[in-house]
Structure 1
Amino acid sequence: MALSRPAIPLPPPARGGSVVDVRREGFELPAHATAVAAARERVWGQLCSWGVPEDLGRTAQLVVSEFFTNAVVHTDSCRIRCRLQVCSELLRIEVCDEGGDCSEVAPRQAAAEDVDGRGLQLVGAVAERWGVRADVQQQGRVVWAELRLTVR
């Protein structure tokens, strides 16, 4: 199911008034463990249809997997929404859950023997930037990441 509202505001026109190509897609899944794999596949399919390079698509899958897993495990969400946007040189990924406190979303320092707790550190390593903000319209939160489309 595609979401009707844009992921983020449209960017300003490029110099000279030309229109910047922006592609958006969104979907919503129930907050079950099976949603993590389903979200990875939806993201992969959409990014392939947009012609995004395979390595970036795999990185996006990793980010979405981490965000969805955290929403399933750490919130009482019933539904989780995902928005993708490609614009200029960035792929923006937003995952919206029904969690409340934005301050709870932060990388933690996992001990060597821990089997989990490193996901947001991975996101921080692969993303140009990432963060969390309140989603006041949905009374939840949005965890987002931006991945660079081109190599610097």
Structure 2
Amino acid sequence: MILWVRHGQSTWNVLDRLQGHELSPPLTDLGREQAQDAAESLADRGVVRLLSSPATRALETAEVIAAHLGLEVEVEPLLLEKGLDENYTNVLVRVQQVLDRDLPDHTVAVSHGDTIGLAVGLLSGQRPEPAANGSVTSVDPETREVAVTLPRR
């Protein structure tokens, strides 16, 4: 099972500005706290691998998680959010490529709201909904039940 983590709040989230494939917006102080909350909620989940979108906001979140869990961050471009020049079919194809990989159980994928929403939709059969900043989402492969842990802050 993949554990999906949406990056913490970025400086552009505060401005309600679309980020797309823009790599540079960093986390805010709240975003770093949300990343720490995500890391703490993953501490007892047996995480063995940590993938991250190459966007700065996702990488910063993944680095907080990696430091807490003693893992290395693997950059995965397929986890980028929808680019401003892309349609959702493109993102679905990328997400499906991630899902088709032979990833070990308890892999964490740090990504973006729309990308995680589409992944959860594919795995659960539910309508895709964007993930909240700093949330951890999983889908039980047998029951297709969705579980979401929101940050405390």
Establish whether TM, by shorter chain, passes 0.5: no
- Largest Rg, 1 or 2: 1
Compare the two structures and name the one with the higher strand fraction.
Answer: 1
Compare the two structures and name the one with the higher helix fraction.
Answer: 2
Q: TM-score, normalised by structure 1?
A: 0.30
